[in-house]
Structure 1
Amino acid sequence: MPSPRPLGPFTVQHVGLGCMNLSHAYGQPPSAEQAHTLLHAALDAGVTLFDTAALYGFGANERLVGPVLAPHRDRITLCSKGGMAGVAGEDGVLRRVIDGHPKTLRQNCEDSLRRLDTEVIDLYYLHRWDPRVPIEESVGEMARLKEEGKIRALGLSEVGVATLRRAHREHPIAALQSEYSLWSRNAELGTLAACRELGIAYVAFSPLGRAFLTGALQDVTSLVAGDIRAAMPRFAPAAYARNLQRLAPMQAIAQEAGCTLAELAIAWVLHQGEHIIALPGTTSVAHLHEDLRGGTVALNAQTLAALDALFPPEAIVGDRYGPQGQREVDTEKFPFEQR
């Protein structure tokens, strides 16, 4: 297995586990028993980075993973996120709300600690920057949580270079978590380089393109109710059909490299920099092991160049989020993306 990679004050394996889809986002989640089986398989396989959030299942994901991971806290890095969580309206229905005010972040953190059944969260992210609140105020409160021993390191998610630099001046940022894959390459507009310069780990979520890069999702009309991909422009049937045309050439590259599509996609992400950590998610033990094997695949310069040529950003049809989601992320966008 390749050498572990730094993540702030921690050292973790280069492929972690995003726990979101054990409770949230891609339709009907697995049973608690199935989720526990996956988590134990990840522990047995040597995964050391586990990532959850207050938003996932409106707290259900933290309640799910906390008891399973608790006996192993001395050998794993546990991450969660606040600043975007479920808030009950007057009708009692929980709705997603972005709120970066210090008081809210403190409450989010304390709620997460209770759900995770832990005294400290190793890496705590601001899930989305709330533009109503200066980033320095949000990060300043997170720094106070660190001083109080409630978290050990600070992270940000889906912010651009300017916001990242402002935050890092307020308090050192250990990690930036944002989407990065062959078909989502906004990180190359500046944040990858800024993280390298500042000594910040880049945690790449959705390195498999939300299953697109695995080849397993051929028919997006079959997405079940509640699957967030159904609202993403690049998963709209017409756009997706055009995007799928890139998978046959990618399969040929994978065959030449002696690996699967998923392994190739993970390997490509990790080859983009020693400061990058891949964070795939899955509900399948078989897919978990496939993702981890991707971290062992060595790609030569010719293969990397072929993949870059196959997936130029301007060739991908559809934005990665719908208009509302696009407005909620601070990451740099290509000129052809909606704003």
Structure 2
Amino acid sequence: MEARQLGSTGPTVSALGLGAMGMSDFYGPADEAESIATIHAALDAGINLIDTGDFYGSGTNEMLIARALRDRKREDVVISVKFGGMRSPGGGFQPVGADVSAAAVQDRLAYTLRRLGTDYVDIYRPARLNPAIPIEETVGAIKEMIDAGYVRHVGLSEVGAETIRRAAAVHPIADLQIEYSLMSRGIEERILPVTRELGIAVTAYGVLSRGLLSGHWRADRELSVADFRGHSPRFQGDNLDANLRLVDALREVARERDATVAQVAIAWVLSRGDDIVPLIGARTRERLAESLGSTDVRLAPEVLARIEAAVPAEAVAGTRYNAVGMSILDSET
């Protein structure tokens, strides 16, 4: 597995990371034994970056990761944690926004360390910007946790260029976690130039656009009530039909490369630069194995051009979150 450094000050990680969110939340029921087996398979394949959030499954995702890592060396794994999402007992999100205050940094980190069964987190990041809480306060509080030995690096998530600059003025930032795929290319105009100027890596989630670019999605697929894609604009009605036509066009390119749609989509993100690390949201060993095959896909410039012509950014139908979700994204302002 190729290694990439997260920014000029961050840790060295595998070229692919594993996003564990779907193992506990948002995509419907998951099999715990298969989830743990998938984490083990990822580690055995050379993936050392695991991403989670303390609000994924209201803490159960962190406990799942702890069980999976019980017999592994802690220093061999880079654990990235988002915090701040406010949940309700019914599983929804509270409308008050993310709590990323200085007090919340210490409080949420304390619970995270206990659930993960570790004495430090490699990368700690606010899940979303709260306009009422200056990013300087949040990053400053994480810096204090670095000084105390509980955190190794500061990360950011879904913030725009101005916020990135303000955060980096307080403490070096290892990486920005943000959605980036053939269907979500909004970072290219303003955000990516700033991260590169400041020596900040990008850990890209949603590289398969929540499954649309997996090559396995069907228009008639039934979703459980717990699957947030049932409310995602890109998965609705005419939007879904239009997006699946783009996938069919991409499938033709993939066939010529003797690869799957998912492998080509991930390989495209890998090709964007050594400062970009795709997070693979595989929930099973089968899907993980397919995703790992992307590292063997080589894309010449003319193939890259055909891929982007098959899935033009302007042809994607629907926003990546619903109206409420889009309204709280600093990265979209």
Residue aligning to 1:82: 83
CA contact (8 A) 1:220 1:235 kept: no
1:1-339 equivalences under 5 Å are 1=1, 3-7=2-6, 8-30=9-31, 32-70=32-70, 71-86=72-87, 88=88, 93=90, 95-97=92-94, 98-219=98-219, 222-332=222-332
- Once the 2 structures are TM-superposed, how far is the Cα of residue 195 of structure 1 from its aligned partner? 1.4
Cα root mean square deviation, aligned: 1.4
Would the alpha carbon gap of residues 234 and 94 (structure 1) be closer, same or farther in structure 2, given more than 3 Å must change? closer
Q: 1:36-72: CA deviations, max 9, x gaps? A: 1111111111111011111100100001111322423
Give the ranges of 4+ consecutive aligned residues of structure 1 lying more than 3 Å apart after TM superposition: 92-95
Preserved contact between residue 220 and residue 236 of structure 1 (Cα < 8 Å):
no
More deviation, 10-19/93-102? 93-102
Task: Measure the CA separation in 1 of the matches of 2:76 and 2:35.
Answer: 20
Q: Which amino acid aligns with 2:238?
A: A
Tell me the distance in 2 between the aligned counterparts of 1:320 and 1:9: 28
Letter in 2 for 1:6: Q
AA aligned opposite 1:179:
E
Unpaired runs of 5+ residues, structure 1, are 334-339
Give the partner amino acid of 1:140: G
Residue identity matched to 1:155: G
Counterparts of 1:230 and 1:222 in 2: how far apart (Å)? 9
Instruction: Give the 3-state SS of the residue equivalent to 1:159 in structure 2.
Output: coil
Please tell me the residue identity of whatever aligns with 1:328: I
For the 8 Å contact 2:247–2:311, the answer to whether it is kept is no
Tell which deviates more after alignment, 92-101 or 174-183.
92-101
Partner AA of 1:24 in structure 2? D
| Aligned length in residues | 327
Give the stretch that moved more between structures: 307-316 or 317-326.
307-316
Deviates more, 1:62-71 or 1:44-53: 62-71
Q: 1:93 to 1:224 in 2, by over 3 A?
A: closer
With over 3 angstroms needed to count, the CA separation of the structure-2 counterparts of 1:172 and 1:242, relative to structure 1, is same
| 8 Å contact from structure 2 (residues 113, 121) kept in 1 | yes
Report the Cα distance in structure 1 between the residues aligned to 2:28 and 2:220, rounded to whole angstroms.
13
Question: 1:275 offset after TM fit, Å?
Answer: 0.2
CA separation of 1:203 and 1:46: change in aligned 2, threshold 3 A? same
Are 2:249 and 2:311, in contact at CA under 8 Å, matched by a contact in 1? no
Whole-Å Cα distance in 2 between the matches of residues 332 and 129 of structure 1?
Answer: 12
Tell me whether 229-238 or 169-178 shows the greater mean CA deviation: 229-238
Give the drift of 1:240.
0.3
How high is the TM-score relative to the length of structure 1? 0.93
Show structure 2 runs of 5+ residues with no match.
Answer: none
Q: Is the 8 A contact 1:155 1:177 kept in 2?
A: yes
Does the residue aligned with 1:175 lie in a helix, a strand or coil?
A: strand
The residue type paired with residue 18 of structure 1 is G
- Residues 182-219 of structure 1, C-alpha deviations (whole Å, 9 max, x = no match): 00111112222211111111000010111111121112
The 2-side partners of 1:289 and 1:93 are apart by 34
In 1, Cα distance between equivalents of 2:67 and 2:171: 31
